[in-house]
Chains A and B, each alone.
Chain A
Amino acid sequence: MSRISTRYLAKRLVVSYLTLLVIMTILFVLVRSMPGSFITNMITPEMQPSQVERLREIWGLNEPLWKQYTNFMINYQTGEFGRSPMHKEPVWDVVIRRLPRTLILFGAGFVVAYTVGPLVGMYLGWWRGTSKDKIIYTSGLTMYSMPAFWIAWLFIWLFDFELGLLKSTYMVDQFGIADWTPWLAMTNILHHIALPLFSIAFVGWVGAMLVMRPSMNNVTGEDYVFLARAKGLSERTVMMKHAARNALIPVATQAIVGLAFLIDGSVLIESVFSWPGIGKLLVGAVLEQDYPVTQAAFFILAVLIIVMRLLTDIAYTYLDPRIKFGGES
């Protein structure tokens, strides 16, 4: 049935798990080597040393480092993230409230960028060398060079401040709507998501285009494209069905790099638009030295990336029948 052998899948899962463990270790070391700790922010000048000691004890910072490390590794794998000193509630509650918001914005950005990018790349690769290609390619590269937060501010200035068309802050209206119907909620979210989504997609599509264009160009020389043409198929069918499908493989690899790129983008975009997601939470947590939240946010982003990598490898086999992973040949 499937072109992926169970053995290969099992091996990949084990490797992914080990990767996650290493990432967690690095994370622990990094976070602990930040100067000071969140206790520093809680201490007031009139506190007695014994009170400070008591604070350290409550937050588990007086335990030996190896014990903190073991606790961290065990707790995280059982989904026990501890309490956030900054938000005064369990980290899991803070994170789980924000995760869907990030996934909506960021998933939508990913889908838009990886629909537009490969399509544009496909046409550019097919028309390589024409003036249309040159103009679109150059302007794409220029968009790619724009700082995401700057373009976001320009959009806010233009669409919200000057034209008053779209909302630039938060995910839904903060006050005023008494009874939410699903329809109202949806339009409200769409109204608010338009600008951040546009800002992410504006820069994000270029990455896929840059990979698709040469890949498409290489494919045009292949025999099967020649054969498809010789069969008398229309130019459109040849391009879409025969050439583009195979040219998509490098794009799948690129999607992983693009994923990381979009996470960076969404960290910035979330803080520009006050979008209450993981990215904004993470930046705040690092700056405030909120260890538990920092670790949890990194952990979740790392899990996300690792899972996506695994899925891309599986997607390969469907794009190109020639690729087999660990098949018994």
Chain B
Amino acid sequence: MSTQSENASATSSVKERWEPRIERFKRGWSRYTQHKMGVLGILILVMYILWALFPSVFAPHSLEWRAFIGNDQYAYLTLQQKQQLPHPPAFGDPFFAPLGTTKSGEGVLTLLVYSAKNALYIGFAAGILSSLVGVPLGLISGFYGDTWVDETIQRIVDVMYGMPFLPFLIVLVAIRGISTTNIILGIAITSWLNNCILIRGETLSLKERAYVESARVAGASDTRIVFRHILPNVVPLAFVFLAQDAAAAILAQASLAYLGLADFKANSWGMMIETVKAKNHIYDAPWWLIPPGLAITSIAAAFYFIGFSVEDVANPQE
């Protein structure tokens, strides 16, 4: 009997604890869905996640597929007929490649779909890693503002700011070898600065709020104040930077790929653009040049859209 009532009170306390949070989430969500931009961002992201998870469903061909003519299977054609067939890179039906083919006969759409995985992996991994470095450092730096701790962290940030981002990344990748993991690590090492500085600023202002002061007067420890009172207010902001970092990381990887510093075996959109340039088809194969750029733009834009909509939900400006 007693255990039952205890259970009941336990469940009710769980309910009590979680109900306001669920309620808050629902309110936030309904606010979020008012932003067409944010909803669009989520839709684009979901599409790319589906591409990344089930590429074989969305791609018209497998990765090994090549639209190449002149093989034995075309031996029955006359020379004239062969010449009438489009030569890769080509845009058109005969190869059943909806967006045309590359110089080596791969389907552009197939490559596009199979590259989504790489972009999402780099975006999420680099974004999460740089948040994991930047947010705690920003919190510490802001909370112990104007002490040697803050000073040290800010000097490190100063030094890192003095390094131009992309050249530094190029050197890092050149040292550690060109692989996707190293590119992610390089991006994370160079991109935590903004998180750190902005979270620090937010923490500095939160620290002066009345409720933090009253918690301190009530005898709360530093750890408790940071985790219970400051962190929850910083999390939405951290999420915004996570989304922005993910977008920036995808763009950085594309830039590295364009300079020839990306894993040649991994399919990526940046690599596709690099190949168009390397094979000298910039001017006569727009169907090959434009889609990968649009894919990079749309996935980075999706992350930015989500980030800025979350920011508006977190601190409404009206």
Q: Spell out A's residues near B (CB within 8 Å).
A: 15, 19-20, 22-23, 26, 30-31, 33-35, 128-129, 134, 138, 141-142, 144-151, 153-154, 156-157, 161, 214, 217-218, 256-257, 260-261, 263-264, 267-268, 271, 279, 282-283, 286-287, 294, 297-298, 301-302, 305-306, 309
Contacts and interface: CB of A to CB of B under 8 A. Distances in A.
> In terms of DSSP, what is the predominant structure of the interface of chain B?
helix
B163 A147 contact: no
B164 A153 contact: no
A267 B166 contact: yes
Contacts of A20: 162
Contacts of B273: 147, 149-150, 153
A148 B164 contact: no
A254 B150 CA distance: 21
Contacts of B172: 30
Contacts of A147: 251, 254-255, 258, 270, 273, 293, 296-297
B300 interface: yes
Given A141-B308, A145-B298, A149-B255, 12 more contacts: A19-B158, A141-B305, A145-B247, A145-B296, A145-B304, A147-B255, A148-B255, A150-B293, A151-B293, A264-B164, A279-B167, A309-B161
A29 B225 CA distance: 40
Contact of B300 (A26, A128, A145, A286): A145
B170 interface: yes
Contacts of B258: 147, 149, 268
A302 B36 CA distance: 41
Interface string B148-167: 00000001001101111111
B283 interface: yes
> In terms of DSSP, what is the predominant structure of the interface of chain A?
helix
A294 B171 contact: yes
Contact of A146 (B37, B270, B289, B293): B293
B283 A298 contact: no
B194 A142 contact: no
B70 interface: no
B251 A302 contact: no
A151 B298 CA distance: 14
A150 B11 CA distance: 56
B301 interface: yes
A221 to B, nearest CB: 10
Nearest to A29: B175
Nearest to B307: A141
A98 B171 CA distance: 21
B317 A142 contact: no
Contacts of A154: 289-290, 293
B277 interface: yes
Nearest to B156: A22
B252 to A, nearest CB: 8
Nearest to A156: B282
Contacts of A306: 162
Nearest to A128: B317
A33 to B, nearest CB: 5
Given A30-B172, A33-B175, A150-B273, A301 B254 contact: no
A258 B296 CA distance: 21
B46 interface: no
A31 B112 CA distance: 36
Nearest to A257: B194
B227 to A, nearest CB: 28
A15 B162 CA distance: 13
B280 to A, nearest CB: 12
A283 B255 contact: no
Given A33-B175, A149-B273, A263 B163 contact: no
Contacts of A35: 175
B293 A23 contact: no
